[in-house]
Structure 1
Amino acid sequence: MTIKLRIESEKLVKSSEEKGRRPVGEQVQLSVFDTVTYNTFFPIIFTFRAPSVCNRAIELGLRLALAEYPEWAGRMAPGGVATILLNDGGVRLVEAACDAPLSFAVPRVPTPDLLHLHGARAYGGAAEQDDDRPLLHVQLTRFSCGGLAVGLTASHIVADGCAACSFWITWGRAARGLAVPPRAVLGRGIFPVRSPPRVEFEHRGVEYSATPPAPATATAVQWEGVIDDIVLEKVHFPVEFLRKLRAEASFPDLQRPHSTFETLVAHLWRTVTKARGVEEEVETHLRISVNGRRRMNPPVPDEYLGNLVLWAFPAATAGELLRRPLHHAAALIREAVARVDDRYFRSFIDFSEQMKAAPPGERSTPTAEMENRVLSPHLEVDSWLRFPFYDVDFGSGGPDLFTPTWSPYEGFLVLLPSAAGDCGVDVLVPLLRERMPIFKEICYTLEAN
Structure 2
Amino acid sequence: MSSATVKHVSACYIKPKYEVQEAKQPYYLAPMDLMIFNFHYIQKGLLFTKPSHINNQEYSISKLLHSLKESLSLALVHFYPLAGQLTTRISKNRHECLIFVDCNKGPGARFIYATLDMSISEILSPADVPLVVQSLFDHDRAINHDGHRRPLLSVQVTELKDGVFIGCSMNHVVGDGTSYWHFWKIWSEIHRANGKQLLVSRPPNHKRWFPDGYGPAIPLPFTHPDEFVSRHRLDPPLPPEYVGNCVTPTITTTTAGELLAHNLGWVASLLHQSVVNHSDKIVHKIIEGWLQSPFVYRPGKMFDPYSVTMGSSPIFDMYGNEFGFGKAVAV
Note whether the superposition's TM-score is higher than 0.5: yes
Which residue of structure 2 lines up, in the alignment, with residue 49 of structure 1? 49
Find the aligned partners of 2:291 and 2:231 in 1 and give their Cα distance: 32
**C-alpha spacing 1:186/1:383, structure 2 compared with 1 (3 Å):** closer
Find the aligned partners of 1:327 and 1:97 in 2 and give their Cα distance: 43
Which residue of structure 2 lines up, in the alignment, with residue 312 of structure 1? 250
1:154 is displaced (CA, Å) by 1.5
Which residue of structure 2 lines up, in the alignment, with residue 390 of structure 1? 319
User: What amino acid sits opposite 2:8 in the alignment?
Assistant: I
Find the aligned partners of 1:172 and 1:393 in 2 and give their Cα distance: 6
Which residue of structure 1 lines up, in the alignment, with residue 93 of structure 2? none
Which residue of structure 1 lines up, in the alignment, with residue 104 of structure 2? 87
- 2:27·2:101 contact (CA, 8 Å) conserved in 1? yes
Identity %: 24
Pairwise mapping of residues 230-241 of structure 1 onto structure 2 (< 5 A)? Answer: none
Matched, 1:115 2:44: no
Deviations 1:198-248 (A, max 9, x none): xxxxxxxxxxxxxxxx989x969xxxxxxxxxxxxxxxxxxxxxxxxxxxx
1:185 to 185, 192, 205: 205
- 1:314·1:336 contact (CA, 8 Å) conserved in 2? yes
Deviations 1:337-366 (A, max 9, x none): 12211111122222222124xxxxxxx442
Task: Name the TM-score, length of structure 2 as normaliser.
Answer: 0.79
CA RMSD, aligned part only? 3.0
Pairwise mapping of residues 36-435 of structure 1 onto structure 2 (< 5 A)? Answer: 36-37=35-36, 39-51=39-51, 53=54, 54-79=64-89, 81-87=98-104, 89=106, 90-104=108-122, 109-119=128-138, 122-127=139-144, 129=146, 131-145=148-162, 147-177=163-193, 178-181=198-201, 183-188=203-208, 190-193=209-212, 295-324=233-262, 328-356=266-294, 364-366=295-297, 369-371=298-300, 376-402=305-331
Find the aligned partners of 1:330 and 1:130 in 2 and give their Cα distance: 36
Equivalenced residues, count: 295
Structure (1 or 2) with the larger CA radius of gyration: 1
User: What amino acid sits opposite 1:41 in the alignment?
Assistant: Y
1:373 is displaced (CA, Å) by 11
- 2:9·2:113 contact (CA, 8 Å) conserved in 1? yes
- Aligned-partner SS, 2:309: strand
User: What amino acid sits opposite 1:346 in the alignment?
Assistant: H
Q: Which runs of 5+ in 1 are unaligned?
A: 196-213, 221-294, 357-363, 403-449
- Aligned-partner SS, 2:21: coil
- 2:202·2:241 contact (CA, 8 Å) conserved in 1? no
Find the aligned partners of 2:145 and 2:296 in 1 and give their Cα distance: 17
Runs of 4+ residues deviating >4 angstroms: 105-109, 324-328, 372-375
1:326 is displaced (CA, Å) by 5.1
- Aligned-partner SS, 2:310: strand
Find the aligned partners of 1:16 and 1:215 in 2 and give their Cα distance: 38
**C-alpha spacing 1:344/1:311, structure 2 compared with 1 (3 Å):** same
1:98 is displaced (CA, Å) by 2.9
Q: Which runs of 5+ in 2 are unaligned?
A: 55-63, 90-96, 215-225
